[in-house]
Structure 1
């Protein structure tokens, strides 16, 4: 099985270790993983800002680089959601591109969804000993239906105790460009999320989207919390979070 790994620009630039954890998970499950070197952005920032031409160019670039793989895996709900839920809108006026997109769209999966529903893994290579709480990132949850999958994988790790926080499905306030345009509202939302993380009593919060990680971790640190860990699900499952 040839799997194309869409690393995402945030992971590539900010937390490449998440990409390596993703690679470890896929290879341990028997996949041949290829990472196209020329890949960049999924086009979401442009799309959210009304720059449809730029976003369309990014969508076509994605097709050029990934359409020949058996599957495409994305360790990010927001980028996966952009590709699976919004490329059709961008490409609808071009029958040739829409035809290409129609063929690849069913093959694109968020990481945990791929591990559970395509590979049907019975275990993960990593180990983690401790209590965690889980934040459901908006795009993964609402556009891709990612909710039970990460929890099912965490349940395969004997050392993990999952304690659900209040309003685990509520937004963290990032929302891509939303956090830039509406800073005060974003801050109020992430403050509530951080309060729920603290109230859970778990020393670590786990999630599947780096944008949310940067937002939650950044707010925790700026408000004096230097201890609560904010981890990508790939790091935990691969054993790279101890």
Structure 2
């Protein structure tokens, strides 16, 4: 299985350890992982701000870099969702193939690799943050407002990690307030929402907050640092890859 590793630009610049953990984890699980070095932004910031037409160059480059792989895998639900819904180009046939073979990491591990066990250990108290786009658009977890059997692809994987103690916040699927450009245009509301999330995890005395999107975790990390909290953030890939 030949996998193209799609790493969001902010992860590449600020959290390269997440990219490395993702690559190592996929390789441990038997994938041939290729990182196209010329990949750039997927174009989501432009689309979020109402300027999707400005992302044409991003689309063309994305297709050039990721054509020909069996799957494209990314440790970020928001970027995957953008590609699934907005990747279009003059080469529409190739764009369509990529839109249908790009996967968020936990989605890929659960639905494609069908991982049953992991050789990972993380002996700490951990709270999971569920990102809105992954839950409500990619269907990575159930929604509390719908009367359906609960499920979570992230939790199912985390439960396979030795030594981990998972503690759920009361409002398990509440938004952290990041929302991409929302945190810039509505910073006061964004911060208040993030503080609410942090308070619930702190009340559970967790040592780490994890999730599938470093964008949300980056937002929470900023609040935690300003509060001089001892709680750390860590991407789910880093836990699943931990020894």
Q: TM-score, normalised by structure 2?
A: 0.92
The aligned residue for residue 103 of structure 1 is: 97
- Counterpart of 1:237? 240
Question: SS of the residue aligned with 2:69?
Answer: coil
Query: 1:126 and 1:151 mapped to 2: Cα distance?
Result: 14
Secondary structure of residue in 1 paired with 2:178: coil
Stretches of structure 2 that go unaligned for 5 or more consecutive residues are 142-151
- Name the structure 2 match of 1:36: 36
- CA positional deviation for 1:182: 0.8
Distance 2:9 2:162 in 1: 33
Q: CA deviation at 1:142?
A: 1.6
1:71-104 CA-partner distances (Å, limit 9, x unpaired): 00010011111111333xxx3xx6x433222222
* Map 1:45-64 → 2, pairs under 5 A: 45-64=45-64
Q: Could you say which residue in structure 2 is the equivalent of 1:137?
A: 131
Q: Which residue is 1:199 aligned to?
A: 203
2:189 to 182, 185, 191: 185
Aligned length: 233
After superposition, residues 79-90 of structure 1 pair within 5 angstroms as 79-87=79-87
Secondary structure of 1:150's partner? helix
Q: Does 68-77 or 126-135 show the bigger shift?
A: 126-135
User: Any conservation in 2 of the 1:25–1:124 contact (CA below 8 Å)?
Assistant: no
Give how far 1:67 is off. Answer: 1.9
CA contact 1:85–1:143 (8 Å) conserved in 2: no
Q: How many Å apart are 1:105 and its aligned residue?
A: 1.5
Deviation at 1:122, TM superposition (A): 2.1
CA RMSD after TM alignment:
1.4
1:71 aligns with 2:74: no
Q: What residue ranges of structure 1 are gaps of 5+ in the alignment?
A: none
Q: Which residue of 107, 114, 126 corresponds with 1:113?
A: 107
Answering whether residue 164 of structure 2 is matched by residue 163 of structure 1, we say no
Q: State whether residues 128 and 160 of structure 1, in contact with CA within 8 Å, keep that contact through their aligned partners in structure 2.
A: yes
Q: Distance in 1 between matches of 2:86 and 2:200?
A: 31
Equivalents in 2 of 1:143, 1:66: separation in Å?
Answer: 23
Rounded to whole Å, the distance in 1 between the matches of 2:172 and 2:86 is 25
Runs of 4+ deviating beyond 4 Å? none
Match of 1:10 in 2: 10
C-alpha separation in 2, matches of 1:44 and 1:72:
17
Q: Equivalent residue for 2:218? A: 214
Equivalent residue of 1:144, what SS?
Answer: coil
